[in-house]
Amino acid sequence: MSYIVSIVGRPNVGKSTLFNRLVGRKKAIVHIKSGVTRDRIYGNSEWNGVPFSIIDTGGYTSFYKKNAEKNNNNVLEKEIRNQILISVKESDVILFLVDIQMGILDTDREISQILRKLKKTILLVVNKVDNGKYMYYDTDFFLLGFSNYYCISAINGSGTGELLDRLIEILKRIRKKIRIEKNEDIPRFSVIGRPNVGKSTLINSFLEKNHHIVTNISGTTRDSLDVFYKKWGYKCILVDTPGVRKKSKISESLEFYSTMRTVKTIEYTDICLLMVDAVRGWEAQDTNIFRLIERNSKGIIILMNKWDLLLSRNFSKKNYEISIRKKIAPFDNVPIFFISAKKKVGINKILSTAHQVFQLRKNRLKTNLLNRVMLPIMQNNPPPSVKKKLITIKYCTQLPTYTPKFIFFSNFPQYIKKSYKRFIENKIRYHFDFRGVPIQIFFRKK
């Protein structure tokens, strides 16, 4: 049985702090600036042997703000409200968080009115009770229309045990269809790229619904966001990530944290879908991201988005592809798709190809086959001699690692140059299928 619990409330009441405490790690960005969380962020938690999923939501702002549609911030606020409404509809239990230090605000009353109309179990949670003096604040939270509330401090954990005990009691009574499947073998596919290239739009196109916030404002996504996907016989975790900017353009601490979150996401993913703005073309930052993925030995698929905008300019897809492969050589046998995420053009085979690359990462070549193919090649094209030393390679094998790594045993491995290493990599890729998969080659003394 899998349960879903959402944390909702106005901005800066401590939702992300509580979320991080419940999942046991800093998955959501926590910052003194309000409104940092924008999309829904999923995590897993467990209490007294009962597992459940937690959703952190963006801060809810009032519908009745003046000039609500006249600036970028309020466009985002509207989208955040939509995400919150989607979240509460998915949930079995809702944790409605308020701030004891601020008391009851009009936005809290508005949220309570919306929540009470839903046929959901709602727990009112009073946060920031960080020391005893706040327990005696003259704030009547019963005015929000709930029969009980729980005082906690998300930052130091006090009161969370009682809250979780009550939550588990409720969850044990709930009998619903399992809506989130948990399986450690399900691959993780992360959409990586510069800001505003269409990463969230692609996720929404796969899901065929507005699961992630999409606006024309660069940098809308600030956290790495996971969502379970099951369709057309494929299962995976799709991960949307913040845009990776150049270091010189990271002007505020939130941007820095978001970029670091993307780097960390790469470490824990299986396949990276590197999305590039085809109109802007392949830039140096795209190469940097590509090399970062390669160094982490993750599978790579390149997505040239907004290709529909170039069709009227008579761009040659073939020439465009050749140019990209030259820039990423020697690791150039990477699947490249020319797509329009917004119009859902060219995206049908992306996930099936990602699953193929996921399987290719597990390729294990038998030692006798590898030597039968590679030894004649190296005998006919030996490494260049250095200091009158004849360099030979007598044996090679693939290491029993999760990603493809090969060792070549030589009499003078220290003299083998990088150019020869690239030559061997090209030959391995030519004779064996490692499409979209980085491989590592090592030379050792025989």
Most confident option among 2-16, 51-65, 222-236, 369-383:
369-383
pLDDT at 300 over 60: yes
pLDDT in tens, 150-183: 999 988 888 999 999 999 999 888 754 334 344 4
pLDDT at 446 over 90: no
Rg (CA), the chain: 26
**Amino acid letter at 79?**
E
Beta bridge partners of 94: 6, 122
Residue 177 CB-density burial (10 A; 0-12 exposed, 13-18 middle, 19+ buried): exposed
Other CB atoms within 10 Å distance of the CB of residue 400: 7
Q: Give the angle 191-197-203 at the CA atoms, nearest 5°.
A: 40
Kindly list the structural domains of the chain, giving each domain's residue range(s) and its CATH number in brackets, ordered by start: 4-173 (3.40.50.300), 188-360 (3.40.50.300), 367-445 (3.30.300.20)
Residue 1 binned pLDDT confidence (cut-offs 50, 70, 90): very low
Return the pLDDT at 222: 41
Residue burial 46-62, b: 16+ Cβ < 10 Å; e: rest: ebeeeebbbbbbbbbbb
pLDDT in tens, 336-380: 999 999 999 999 999 999 999 999 999 999 999 999 999 999 999
Return the pLDDT at 27: 47
Percent above pLDDT 70 for the chain: 76
What integer is the mean pLDDT of 387-395?
A: 88
pLDDT at 310 over 50: yes
pLDDT at 218 over 80: no
What integer is the mean pLDDT of 253-278?
A: 70
pLDDT at 253 over 80: no
pLDDT in tens, 3-41: 788 888 888 888 888 988 888 755 443 333 444 444 457
Cis peptide before 413 (omega within 30 of 0): no
Q: Report helix, strand or coil for 422.
A: helix
**pTM of the full structure:** 0.58
Dihedral over alpha carbons 122, 128, 131, 132 (to 10 degrees) = -40
pLDDT at 64 over 50: no
Q: Please name the helix (run of DSSP H) or strand (run of DSSP E) that holds residue 207, with its range, or none.
A: helix 199-207
pLDDT at 111 over 90: no
Return the pLDDT at 83: 61
Quick one: tokens of 228?
């379970």
